[in-house]
């Protein structure tokens, strides 16, 4: 509306000037000269007035624009997204799907859509490479979308752009817990390998099989460092995937210095949104900083009559838990009208019990409880919160997005899990009875797992497809670019990815855009657990793709900067 108003002012100014010219046309030469001078001055004055008003209007519009939050979505962005008209959003989704002739009711339709979306990314990147805007220049600098750059001159002298690629194979490395307190997450590796088996049976990537070399780091960062060195020095892999915030933080400096792709790590730490200092590393799930703000926004909207409230959090005592703690602490500090006090209580990641910690939390008499932890501690928290009598006193209790799988982290608690809330990050549960009946990709996942002697009712197997799907899409895109599959084309493909990820709820975008958008997921569901159906009941889905600010992580200076 503001721009239309400014154009109208300029038009009026021109008409006014023309009217002065017309009025002066019947006079003598001196009158003509005077009229021309007046006309010119009038036009200049009106133009200047219009420009000044446009500048004011633009400043007012800029003031209205919500600022980006480093490492995640800002409160203003989330509140605006929550208030958008749902009917308009649904119509927009339908229109986009009709334009693309999307059919997600069959696995064939899902794969056809994937091919179409890949082709658009290939077209964009190829055009940039051929024009010289993207790709590796004569100065040995890789350039990509929105100012994305990597100086390859800083890579090791023996660095190879095609390391890990043979005539028949693409070797990728992986570390994660297959033993220890978070061993259950290691099942994702098996699901991912099952998906690789399907891809290889269909011809692989450019005629090459994708093979995975995996190590058990037991969620111990020192072990991750050791195995990443092994993958680099002896296994000569093309790229490396890691699981866990402490583990990834321990090695992402090394992998970026070695110029080795580390995309779609399975952790929501905001540090992965750093395309300038750590360009070879990206995340794959909702940022924990965003999740923290979403908890606060839910409290603000749903407990309005009780505000401000006391909030207690059970925090895993490591870099993972710290990201949650810093995120919510920042929200509480900025919103004292919503959170009167935030009480974080930390627990040892290796401890088999959390009874003492929950007892401490209950003594603080909180109104809201949030688990800021992972693995078995999520299940224990549900059980201990109920056993302590705290659940009956709470206005709301949240379990984290990383513990969304009901069969693993909530269903074993029986009725104690009923009514718990989650900011779920939009991820589908492959064991959800409703999805099993009506979701074509979930049916494909479960059939593939069963055909490979894996229990489809273990949700962590399904999470392997969540990680593996975008990995394969990026490899396929890279293989279609000029010069084919190599590390630089692969990271360009990752940084420009724009797909429908079928393990995420419809309406959740999976996309990045160079330095302008470093987070592939910026949407979520708000859900509540129903113990009678063993499933999450979705109450709302929001998505604000591209609205998160980048994050250079510095935990000693409060987190993102």
Question: Which residues in the chain land under pLDDT 70?
Answer: 1-68, 73, 75, 81-100, 558
Q: Which fold has domain 104-285+436-508?
A: Rossmann fold (3.40.50)
Q: What's the pLDDT at 384?
A: 97
Cα end-to-end span (Å), the chain: 35
pLDDT digits (tens, 9 = 90+) for 290-347: 999 999 999 999 999 999 999 999 999 999 999 999 999 999 999 999 999 999 999 9
Query: What would the two tokens of residue 389 be?
Result: 């009598």
Q: What's the pLDDT at 48?
A: 57
Exposed/middle/buried for residue 73 (C-beta within 10 Å: 0-12, 13-18, 19+)? buried
Q: What's the pLDDT at 547?
A: 87
Q: What's the pLDDT at 12?
A: 45
Exposed/middle/buried for residue 492 (C-beta within 10 Å: 0-12, 13-18, 19+)? buried
Sequence-ordered list of residues with C-beta below 8 angstroms from that of 84, at least 6 positions apart, any chain: 542
Query: What would the two tokens of residue 516 be?
Result: 């302008």
Q: 104-285+436-508 with 289-423: one CATH topology?
A: yes
Whether 357 and 383 have beta carbons less than 8 Å apart is answered as no
Kindly give the residue spans of alpha helices, DSSP state H, lying in 165-217: 187-201
pLDDT digits (tens, 9 = 90+) for 76-132: 777 776 666 444 444 445 445 544 578 999 999 999 999 999 999 999 999 999 999
Q: What's the pLDDT at 546?
A: 87
> Phi, psi (5° rounding) for residue 489?
-65, -35
Whether 272 and 251 have beta carbons less than 8 Å apart is answered as no
Bond before 308 cis per omega within 30 degrees: yes
Handedness of CA 115, 119, 125, 126 (dihedral sign): positive
Exposed/middle/buried for residue 42 (C-beta within 10 Å: 0-12, 13-18, 19+)? middle
Quote the CA–CA distance of 507 and 545 in Å, as a whole number: 10
Quote the CA–CA distance of 99 and 417 in Å, as a whole number: 42
Angle at 371 between CA 467 and CA 510, to 5 degrees: 25
Rg (CA), the chain: 27
Coil, strand or helix at 74: coil
Bond before 83 cis per omega within 30 degrees: no
Q: Which helix (H) or strand (E) holds 313?
A: strand 309-316
Quote the CA–CA distance of 441 and 444 in Å, as a whole number: 5
Site of tokens 């990509």 = 144
Q: CA 343 → CA 75, 291, 312, 329, 362, distances in Å?
A: 21, 17, 5, 9, 11
Quote the CA–CA distance of 342 and 423 in Å, as a whole number: 19
Query: What would the two tokens of residue 270 be?
Result: 């905001």
Query: What would the two tokens of residue 454 be?
Result: 């894996």
Query: What would the two tokens of residue 59 be?
Result: 């400043």
Domain spans in the chain, listed from the N-terminal domain onward: 2-56, 104-285+436-508, 289-423
Exposed/middle/buried for residue 153 (C-beta within 10 Å: 0-12, 13-18, 19+)? exposed
Handedness of CA 348, 352, 354, 356 (dihedral sign): negative
Exposed/middle/buried for residue 522 (C-beta within 10 Å: 0-12, 13-18, 19+)? buried
At the second CATH level, the architecture of 289-423 is 3-Layer(aba) Sandwich (3.40)
> Phi, psi (5° rounding) for residue 20?
-65, -40
User: Model-level pTM?
Assistant: 0.85
Whether 225 and 175 have beta carbons less than 8 Å apart is answered as no
Q: CA 136 → CA 148, 277, 558, distances in Å?
A: 12, 18, 36
Which pairing describes strands 535-543 and 523-530: parallel, antiparallel, or unpaired? antiparallel
Q: What's the pLDDT at 65?
A: 53
Quick one: what percent of the chain has pLDDT higher than 90?
Answer: 77
Whether 272 and 494 have beta carbons less than 8 Å apart is answered as no
Quote the CA–CA distance of 67 and 134 in Å, as a whole number: 29
Exposed/middle/buried for residue 198 (C-beta within 10 Å: 0-12, 13-18, 19+)? middle
Quote the CA–CA distance of 219 and 228 in Å, as a whole number: 13
> Phi, psi (5° rounding) for residue 407?
-60, -25
């Amino acid at each position: 509306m503001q721009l239309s108003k400014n154009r109208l002012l300029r038009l009026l100014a021109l008409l006014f000037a023309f009217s002065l010219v017309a009025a002066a046309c019947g006079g003598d030469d001196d009158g003509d000269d005077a009229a021309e001078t007046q006309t010119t001055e009038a036009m200049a004055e009106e133009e200047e007035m219009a420009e000044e008003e446009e500048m004011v209007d633009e400043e007012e519009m800029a003031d209205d624009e919500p600022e980006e939050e480093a490492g995640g979505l800002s409160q203003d962005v989330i509140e605006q997204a929550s208030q958008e008209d749902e009917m308009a959003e649904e119509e927009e989704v339908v229109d986009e799907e009709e334009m693309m002739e999307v059919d997600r009711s069959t696995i064939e339709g899902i794969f056809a859509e994937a091919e179409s979306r890949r082709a658009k990314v290939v077209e964009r990147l190829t055009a940039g490479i051929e024009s010289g805007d993207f790709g590796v220049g004569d100065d040995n600098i890789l350039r990509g979308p929105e100012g994305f750059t990597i100086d390859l001159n800083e890579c090791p002298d023996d660095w190879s752009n095609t390391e890990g690629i043979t005539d028949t194979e693409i070797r990728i490395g992986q570390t994660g817990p297959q033993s220890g307190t978070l061993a259950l997450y290691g099942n994702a590796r098996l699901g991912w390998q099952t998906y690789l088996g399907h891809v290889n049976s269909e011809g692989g990537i450019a005629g090459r099989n994708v093979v995975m070399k995996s190590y058990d780091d037991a969620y111990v960062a020192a072990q991750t460092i050791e195995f990443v060195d092994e993958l680099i020095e002896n296994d000569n892999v093309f790229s490396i995937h890691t699981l866990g915030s402490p583990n990834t933080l321990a090695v992402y400096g090394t992998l970026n210095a070695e110029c080795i792709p580390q995309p779609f790590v399975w952790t929501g730490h905001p540090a992965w949104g750093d395309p300038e200092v750590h360009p070879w590393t990206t995340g794959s799930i909702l940022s924990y900083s965003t999740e923290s703000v979403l908890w606060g926004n839910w409290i603000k909207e749903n407990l309005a009559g009780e505000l401000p409230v006391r909030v207690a959090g059970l925090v895993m005592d490591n870099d993972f838990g710290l990201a949650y703690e810093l995120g919510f602490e920042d929200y509480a500090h900025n919103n004292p009208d919503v959170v009167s006090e935030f009480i974080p209580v930390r627990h040892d990641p290796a401890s088999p019990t959390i009874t003492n910690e929950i007892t401490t939390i209950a003594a603080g008499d909180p109104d809201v409880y949030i688990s800021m932890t992972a693995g078995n501690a999520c299940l224990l928290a549900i059980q201990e919160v109920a056993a302590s009598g705290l659940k009956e006193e709470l206005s709301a209790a949240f379990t984290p997005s990383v513990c969304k799988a009901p069969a693993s982290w909530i269903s074993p608690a029986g009725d104690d899990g009923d009514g718990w809330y989650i900011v779920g990050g939009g991820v589908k549960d492959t064991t959800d009875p409703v999805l099993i009946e009506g979701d074509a990709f979930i049916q494909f996942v479960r059939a593939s797992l069963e055909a490979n002697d894996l229990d489809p009712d273990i949700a962590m197997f399904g999470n392997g497809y969540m990680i593996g799907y975008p990995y394969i899409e990026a490899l396929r895109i890279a293989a279609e670019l000029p010069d084919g599959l190599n590390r630089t084309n692969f990271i360009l493909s990752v940084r420009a990815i724009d797909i429908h990820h079928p393990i995420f709820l419809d309406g959740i975008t999976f996309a990045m855009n160079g330095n302008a958008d470093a987070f592939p997921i910026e949407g979520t569901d708000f859900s509540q657990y129903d113990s009678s159906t063993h499933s999450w009941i979705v109450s709302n889905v929001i998505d604000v793709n591209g609205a998160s600010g980048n994050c250079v992580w510095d935990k000693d200076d409060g987190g993102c900067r």
